[in-house]
């Protein structure tokens, strides 16, 4: 990397960290000072990462490496290939916009804490994005885990307005609501559980190739060939692949790990935007985009294509089912941010699906460059999702704040009082629904195209989900903006310009990206990833049809055809509604199968095992010693004949022993 580019990339990574440190030092300063210090750091990061992208362009540049821990061949190393540069620029720019929104939204309560973790979050994400070293990547990865924990439980006094779920509602006896501090624990536990496996997988790679530098893993260097070969030789290929991917699946909220993400809605709205658009859940997808094509070429080179193919096929099914399942949950959810959260997990699945499907196709057809097509499609969808989802969450923050309720059923008719918010939500929502010409339409079709390469059934499942996506999006918008409120009367008011400017810009961006897609965005991405995506008219047509069909169904709410009331009346539908509303009982199953038995086991171990061991060592053993002593004392009562007898007995024993030792008889 030239000194210049290296400097910009380093700035992009370090500026948010430095801002975090400054926030810490300034924690007694007035809230605006703290807030703008944080924003300044984000601005430097955004500027630097965009300049780095423009300077380097699609060719990429050499990595920038400082040996951090030379004795283990571990480095702090940053790379500047197109994927890293484009992702870094996206993350930094979105974080900056969300940061500006936060200045108004957060105010002064907990401001230093908020800005410290916000900046730390962005710095960690930039670290993992630009990482050219697996340990560097881990530093960023685990850093995002900490920041998400702290921000999800930001309202650490557990005020009821910031809970998620309906207080009092239970599924299979398991509470389906979550206060902020509980959500934080869920987030860090779910991800840390999976990260433990990732640590082992990275350790395995480190042990085999002798370094954590990622250069060695690139297809030309052949590192992954040695890793896969070693795993196969040890009979541990499947567990290795599992360990390698499970961290990414958990971070990106794929089933059953989506549970942490849906309760993460207890954080402030800009935190949700940050997590969903820029800094947290995209990390898993990015990881898959980064490494899957390398694994594919290594598997082909080592003759393990069939094994990797089978594994990726299983993952593909998992993510497609996640996409479908979470979309169905979004259909019935009543909390605005919860709908958006379901939608995120579902859309992330598309991104995973793109790269897994393209890789499957590449493995089957031995056309290695096809995997890159998956990277292109997955990343394209990542970009459009990041923009529209940030807009939706930021607008949701304004809406919830305006009506003092997180339920869409308490909103309604807000288009009149919050027109700009409505406009932004509409543009972003249409992009999510994949309606032309918004960016989501282009990128979702690119995903469906690669899914079709792997098999038409995959594409069909994705289209069903696209239909559902359009339906729940329209339902949400209808409820919030055009319906009459079901409950109390809602009064909306627009927020200040820092807030509405942020989401309006993002809403417009999803339109602008869509408008410029064919002429500018797609060629730029295609050049960057070195692929030649083909426009597939039939696919586009079917995709459009699915989206508009879904939109029409969703819009039927407008006409007063509320399936809501229908479901309440019919027993069968009520069961189905409950099943969807309670998140397919996945949460209940996790608690019933793991959490509660774990707690019971702990109590049981404490009351039975620990208590018994304690009693044994601290009561039984000392008592036995005392009683032995007492028993021995009864032999020593001062009676001379007894002592003589003991003496004779002892003498006899000694004689026998001596005789035996001397070889007699």
Partner 1 sequence: MAELMLGAPLLWTTVLAPVVAGAACLVASGRSAALLAGFSWALVLTSLILLAPLVYSVDAPAVVVDPWYAEVPGLGVFGLMVDGVSLAYAIAIATVSMGVAIYSYRYMEHRFGELGAVPRWGVYFLLYQLFTAGMLGAVYSINTVLFYLFLELTLIPSFLLIVLYGYGERVRIGLLYMVWTHAGAALFLVAVLIIGLATGVFNIYAPGVGYIVAVERQLGEQLAYLTFTLLVLGLGIKMALLGLHVWLPYAHAEAPTPISALLSPLLIGLGAYGLLRIGLAFYPTLWTAASPLLLAWALATMIYGGLMALTQTDIKRFLAYSSVSQMGYLMLGLATGNYAGLSGAVLHYVSHAYGKAALFAAAGVLIVAAHTRDMNEMGGLASRLPYTAAAALTGFLYLTGIPPTLGLLSEYLIARGLAEWGYSEGGVFFTASLAAFMVAVAVSAVYCFVGFRRVFLGRPGPAASRVSAEPSSMAGPTLFLALAGVVLFLFPEPLAGPVRAVVGAIAAAGGGAG
Nearer to partner 1, 119 or 555 (CB): 119
- Minimum gap (Å) between residue 72 Cβ and partner 1: 6
- Minimum gap (Å) between residue 508 Cβ and partner 1: 37
Task: Judge whether 448 and 539 are in contact, CB under 8 Å.
Answer: yes
- Minimum gap (Å) between residue 212 Cβ and partner 1: 9
For residue 219, count CB atoms less than 10 angstroms from its CB and return exposed for 0-12, middle for 13-18, buried for 19 or more: middle
Query: Of 449, 458, 463, whose CA–CA distance to 316 is shortest?
Result: 458
Nearer to partner 1, 70 or 665 (CB): 70
- Minimum gap (Å) between residue 192 Cβ and partner 1: 4
Nearer to partner 1, 88 or 184 (CB): 184
- Minimum gap (Å) between residue 126 Cβ and partner 1: 14
Nearer to partner 1, 214 or 273 (CB): 214
Cα 174 from Cα 160, distance rounded (Å): 19
The one-character DSSP state at 57 is G
- Minimum gap (Å) between residue 442 Cβ and partner 1: 37
Query: Of 215, 268, 244, 202, whose CA–CA distance to 63 is shortest?
Result: 215
Nearer to partner 1, 260 or 422 (CB): 260
Task: Judge whether 295 and 224 are in contact, CB under 8 Å.
Answer: yes
Task: Give strand pairing partners of 170.
Answer: 175
- Minimum gap (Å) between residue 204 Cβ and partner 1: 4
Q: At what angle do helices 237-251 and 305-332 cross, to 10 degrees?
A: 30
For 618, phi and psi rounded to 5 degrees?
Answer: -105, -10
CB atoms closer than 10 angstroms to residue 257: 23
The residue to which tokens 């869409």 are assigned? 408
For residue 437, count CB atoms less than 10 angstroms from its CB and return exposed for 0-12, middle for 13-18, buried for 19 or more: middle
- Minimum gap (Å) between residue 626 Cβ and partner 1: 14
The one-character DSSP state at 175 is E
- Minimum gap (Å) between residue 63 Cβ and partner 1: 20
Nearer to partner 1, 545 or 594 (CB): 594
Nearer to partner 1, 535 or 625 (CB): 625
Nearer to partner 1, 304 or 480 (CB): 304
Query: Of 331, 501, 483, 488, whose CA–CA distance to 415 is shortest?
Result: 483
The residues of the shown chain that bind partner 1, judged by CB under 8 A, are 68-72, 124, 135, 138-139, 142-143, 145-146, 149, 153, 156-158, 179, 181-182, 184-185, 188-189, 192-197, 199-204, 206-208, 230-231, 234-236, 239-240, 243, 598-599, 601-603, 605-606, 610, 613-614, 617-618
- Minimum gap (Å) between residue 16 Cβ and partner 1: 13
Element (H, E) at 483: none
Nearer to partner 1, 16 or 485 (CB): 16
Task: Judge whether 334 and 577 are in contact, CB under 8 Å.
Answer: no
For 17, phi and psi rounded to 5 degrees?
Answer: -65, -45
- Minimum gap (Å) between residue 157 Cβ and partner 1: 6
Look at strands 170-171 and 74-80 and give their pairing: unpaired
- Minimum gap (Å) between residue 205 Cβ and partner 1: 8
Taking every pair of Cα atoms in the chain, the longest distance, rounded to a whole number of angstroms, is 116
- Minimum gap (Å) between residue 357 Cβ and partner 1: 27
Nearer to partner 1, 228 or 391 (CB): 228
Nearer to partner 1, 593 or 601 (CB): 601
Nearer to partner 1, 194 or 505 (CB): 194
Cα 283 from Cα 194, distance rounded (Å): 14
Residues sharing a CB contact under 8 Å with residue 236, sequence separation 6 or more, in sequence order: none
Start-end of H helices in 434-521: 439-454, 456-477, 497-516
Nearer to partner 1, 365 or 607 (CB): 607
Nearer to partner 1, 159 or 491 (CB): 159
- Minimum gap (Å) between residue 364 Cβ and partner 1: 26
Cα 292 from Cα 373, distance rounded (Å): 12
Angle among Cα 122, 394, 582 to the nearest 5 degrees reads: 95
- Minimum gap (Å) between residue 445 Cβ and partner 1: 38
Nearer to partner 1, 185 or 576 (CB): 185
Listing DSSP states for 354-369 in one string gives HHHHHHHHHHHHT-TT
Cα 122 from Cα 87, distance rounded (Å): 12
Cα 247 from Cα 26, distance rounded (Å): 35
Nearer to partner 1, 71 or 366 (CB): 71
Element (H, E) at 66: strand 61-69
For 437, phi and psi rounded to 5 degrees?
Answer: -100, 30
Residues sharing a CB contact under 8 Å with residue 611, sequence separation 6 or more, in sequence order: none
Query: Of 95, 17, 19, 104, whose CA–CA distance to 50 is shortest?
Result: 95
- Minimum gap (Å) between residue 365 Cβ and partner 1: 30
Angle among Cα 328, 266, 144 to the nearest 5 degrees reads: 95
Element (H, E) at 79: strand 74-80
Supply the Cα-derived Rg of the chain in whole angstroms.
Answer: 30
Cα 268 from Cα 522, distance rounded (Å): 34
């Amino acid at each position: 990397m030239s000194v210049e580019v290296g400097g910009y990339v380093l700035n992009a990574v370090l500026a948010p960290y430095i801002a975090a440190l400054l926030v810490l030092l300034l924690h007694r300063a007035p809230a605006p000072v703290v807030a703008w210090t944080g924003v300044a750091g984000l601005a430097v990061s955004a500027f630097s990462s965009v300049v780095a992208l423009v300077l380097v362009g699609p060719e990429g540049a050499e990595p920038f490496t400082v040996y951090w821990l030379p004795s283990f061949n571990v480095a702090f190393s940053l790379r500047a290939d197109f994927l890293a540069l484009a992702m870094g620029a996206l993350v930094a720019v979105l974080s900056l916009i969300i940061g500006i929104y936060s200045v108004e939204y957060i105010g002064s309560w907990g401001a230093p804490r908020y800005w410290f973790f916000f900046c730390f979050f962005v710095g960690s994400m930039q670290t993992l994005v630009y990482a050219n070293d697996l340990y560097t990547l881990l530093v960023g990865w685990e850093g995002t885990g900490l920041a998400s924990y702290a921000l999800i439980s930001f309202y650490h006094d557990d005020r009821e307005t910031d809970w998620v779920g309906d207080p009092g509602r239970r599924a299979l006896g398991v509470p389906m609501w979550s206060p902020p501090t509980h959500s934080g624990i869920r987030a860090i536990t779910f991800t840390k559980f999976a990260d433990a496996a990732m640590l082992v997988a990275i350790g395995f790679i480190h042990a085999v190739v002798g370094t954590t530098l990622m250069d060695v893993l690139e297809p030309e260097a052949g590192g992954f060939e040695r890793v896969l070969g070693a795993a196969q030789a040890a009979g541990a290929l499947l567990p290795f692949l599992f360990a390698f991917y499970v961290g990414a699946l958990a971070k990106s909220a794929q089933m059953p790990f989506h549970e942490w993400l849906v309760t993460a809605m207890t954080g402030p709205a800009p935190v949700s935007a940050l997590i969903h658009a820029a800094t947290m859940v995209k990390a898993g997808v990015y990881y898959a985009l980064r490494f899957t094509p390398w694994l594919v070429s290594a598997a082909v080179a080592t003759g393990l294509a069939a094994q990797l193919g089978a594994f990726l096929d299983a993952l593909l099914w998992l993510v497609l089912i996640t996409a479908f399942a979470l979309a169905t949950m979004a259909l019935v959810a009543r909390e605005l941010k919860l709908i958006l959260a379901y939608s995120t997990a579902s859309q992330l699945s598309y991104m995973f699906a793109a790269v897994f499907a393209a890789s499957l196709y590449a493995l089957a057809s031995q056309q290695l460059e096809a995997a890159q097509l998956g990277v292109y499609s997955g990343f394209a969808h990542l970009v459009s999702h990041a923009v529209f989802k940030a807009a939706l969450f930021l607008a949701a923050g304004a809406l919830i704040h305006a009506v003092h309720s997180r339920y869409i059923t308490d909103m309604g008719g807000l288009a009149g009082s919050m027109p700009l918010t409505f406009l932004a939500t509409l543009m972003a929502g249409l992009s999510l629904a994949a309606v032309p010409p918004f960016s989501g339409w282009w990128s979702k079709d690119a995903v469906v195209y690669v899914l079709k390469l792997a098999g038409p059934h995959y594409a069909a499942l994705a289209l069903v989900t696209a239909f559902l996506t359009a339906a729940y999006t329209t339902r949400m918008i209808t409820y919030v903006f055009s319906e009459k409120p079901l409950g109390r009367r809602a009064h909306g008011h627009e927020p200040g310009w820092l807030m509405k400017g942020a989401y309006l810009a993002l809403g417009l961006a999803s339109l602008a990206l869509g408008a410029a897609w064919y002429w500018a965005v797609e060629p730029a991405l295609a050049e960057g990833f070195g692929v030649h995506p083909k426009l597939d008219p039939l696919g586009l047509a079917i995709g459009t049809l699915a989206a508009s069909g879904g939109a029409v169904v969703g819009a039927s709410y407008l006409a007063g055809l509320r399936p809501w009331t229908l479901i309440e009346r019919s027993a069968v539908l009520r069961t189905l509604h409950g099943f969807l509303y309670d998140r397919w009982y996945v949460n209940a199953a996790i608690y019933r199968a793991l959490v509660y038995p774990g707690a019971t086991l702990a109590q049981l171990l404490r009351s039975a095992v620990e208590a018994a061991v304690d009693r044994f060592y601290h009561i039984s053993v000392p008592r036995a010693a005392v009683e032995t002593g007492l028993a021995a004392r009864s032999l020593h009562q001062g009676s001379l004949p007894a002592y003589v007898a003991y003496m004779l007995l002892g003498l006899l024993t000694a004689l026998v022993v001596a005789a035996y030792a001397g070889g007699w008889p």
